[in-house]
């Protein structure tokens, strides 16, 4: 299993996480209200990246809702873990919605599909047992972690003269680290004991990678 080194970076001395700029910051600042002037190549990268990110966060919210629909009420510890991860995904989606508007990104036409597919995946794996639900989380978050890492490499080549670019890099880093914490939670909760773990991980992971490529374009 691919492992990542997670580091937290401060957006300012008074804000713990960069996303605070969108959740509690001044919405008139250039970093959260303007968009950079980019070459057509870099603009295509930004469009595809944020379109995928928004769709991915929609799916993640509904995956955890699907898991809650099956596992909810069976274990206080599991309830708390799922609610904590769901809350983080809700925050991610809220920020991605604002980024999509800020940078004039066309959202994917598959948003409703992402909701249905996410809920179905979460519920179906939860019906197989808690370990299978955690294996689903492990596989999904592994792909998302890799995806965010790839984005950081691409955005590092953008011109850094607009305040929104370094802020976007910090937010993607923050969200990547959150997702990898979810991955660690899944592993600690015995995701790798799930029946047919390798097969389940491969199928879910491949599905996520296909979804990423499709959402970049439509």
Burial class (CB in 10 A: 0-12, 13-18, 19+), 152: middle
Asked whether residue 174 is marked as a ligand-binding residue, the answer is no
Burial class (CB in 10 A: 0-12, 13-18, 19+), 67: buried
Using CA atoms, how far apart are residues 9 and 29, in angstroms rounded to an integer?
A: 20
Using CA atoms, how far apart are residues 24 and 154, in angstroms rounded to an integer?
A: 28
Asked whether residue 42 is marked as a ligand-binding residue, the answer is no
Tokens at 156, concatenated: 């590092």
Asked whether residue 146 is marked as a ligand-binding residue, the answer is no
Asked whether residue 103 is marked as a ligand-binding residue, the answer is no
DSSP string, 70-129: HHTTS-HHHHHHHHHHHHHHHHHHHHHHHHHHHTTPPPPTTHHHHHHHHHHHHHHHHHT-
Asked whether residue 182 is marked as a ligand-binding residue, the answer is yes
Asked whether residue 179 is marked as a ligand-binding residue, the answer is yes
Tokens at 21, concatenated: 């700029």
Q: Which residues contact 172 (CB under 8 A, 6 or more apart)?
A: 53, 148, 151, 152, 155
- Residues tagged in the binding site annotation for Fe cation: 57, 89, 92, 141, 179, 182
- Residues tagged in the binding site annotation: 57, 89, 92, 141, 179, 182
């Amino acid at each position: 299993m691919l492992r990542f080194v997670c580091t937290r970076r401060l957006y300012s001395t008074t804000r713990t996480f960069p996303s605070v700029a969108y959740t509690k910051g001044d919405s008139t600042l250039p970093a959260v209200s303007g968009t950079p002037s980019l070459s057509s190549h870099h603009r295509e990268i930004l469009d595809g990246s944020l379109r995928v990110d928004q769709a991915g966060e929609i799916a993640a919210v509904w995956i955890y809702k699907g898991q809650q629909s099956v596992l909810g009420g069976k274990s206080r510890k599991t309830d708390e873990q799922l609610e904590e991860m769901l809350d983080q995904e809700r925050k991610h989606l809220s920020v991605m919605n604002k980024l999509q508007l800020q940078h004039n990104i066309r959202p994917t036409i598959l948003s409703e599909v992402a909701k249905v597919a996410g809920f179905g995946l979460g519920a179906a794996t939860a019906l197989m047992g808690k370990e299978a639900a955690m294996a689903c989380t492990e596989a999904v978050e592994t792909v998302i972690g890799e995806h965010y890492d790839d984005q950081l490499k691409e955005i590092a080549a953008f011109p850094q003269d607009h305040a929104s670019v370094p802020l976007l890099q910090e937010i993607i880093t923050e969200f990547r680290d959150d997702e990898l914490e979810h991955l660690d939670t899944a592993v600690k909760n015995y995701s790798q004991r799930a029946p047919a773990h390798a097969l389940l991980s491969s199928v879910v992971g491949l599905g996520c990678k296909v979804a990423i490529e499709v959402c970049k374009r439509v």
